Amino acid sequence: MMQRAAPGFDKVETWVFDLDNTLYPHHLNLWQQVDARIRDYIVDFLHITHDEAFRLQKDYYRRYGTTLRGLMEEHGLEPGHFLEIVHQIDHSALTPNPALGAAISKLVGRKFILTNGTRRHADAVMARLEISAHFDGVFDITAAELEPKPRPQVYDRFLARHHIDPTKAAIFEDLARNLEVPHALGMTTVLVVPSGAGVVLREDWELAGRDAPHVDHVTDDLAGFLRDIRAKV
């Protein structure tokens, strides 16, 4: 079966961005704070050691899309308190990114954030980056009815909520597995990969897939990539 040629962006009317490790670089380790808080929560919730919690956390993240979903399905966790606690982190590592803001602002069409995190966390990140004004909406884990990417129903709900034609949309993600369903729906897919030393902070499975057929484009410079799009359309 012949792989389709990587599509351009001339027909894109809607721009969809993941949040963590996509709109800001992975090496800032913001998500590692959430990671640690999730681990601590599991220790208290299941009364197990940190080593056991770490193993469970990573297993559920890989199998269910989020550790939260695994805890809900395997242990009956009520999600509200979990979501409130694990996202209480220090966002001060994030600083304004005028280059990214300018690049996003010049994209023609609507722009959304699609995240497995919470709206509160997304708002904090956008505020620190000073890019809030450029987005038309945030579709978070609550809007997705606590179903995480890469589950197909997440994308279906998001597209339906905002009346988006997937064949006229582009999506930017740092995990290749989260691009498989959007690609099948007809979206143009872009994998945002960490550059330089940031790569060593990722697990092997998270870095896999950049050569997969459902990845249309790959970049390690989101702002520069978006500027190039505007130059070409």
Domains of the chain with bracketed CATH:
14-24+94-232 (3.40.50.1000), 30-86 (1.10.150.450)
Q: What is the pLDDT of residue 182?
A: 98
Q: What is the pLDDT of residue 207?
A: 60
Which residues make beta-bridge pairs with 171? 16, 189
CB-based burial, 30-61: b 16+ in 10 Å, e otherwise: bbebbbebbbebbbeeeeeeeeebbebbeebb
Residue at 76: amino acid letter: G
Q: What is the pLDDT of residue 203?
A: 59
Structure tokens at 193: 């990969």
Q: What is the pLDDT of residue 27?
A: 77
Helix, strand, coil % in the chain, rounded to nearest 5: 50, 10, 40
Percent over 70 (pLDDT), the chain:
91
Stated pTM of the model: 0.89
**Cβ–Cβ < 8 Å for 19, 115:** yes
Query: pLDDT per residue over 47-69, tens digit each?
Result: 999 999 999 999 999 999 899 99
Using CA atoms, how far apart are residues 183 and 180, in angstroms rounded to an integer? 5
Using CA atoms, how far apart are residues 208 and 8, in angstroms rounded to an integer? 23
Cα angle 28, 32, 37 (rounded to 5 degrees) comes to 145
Using CA atoms, how far apart are residues 183 and 85, in angstroms rounded to an integer? 34
Query: pLDDT per residue over 179-200, tens digit each?
Result: 999 999 999 999 999 764 444 3
Calculate helix-pair angle for 98-105, 222-232, nearest 10 degrees: 30
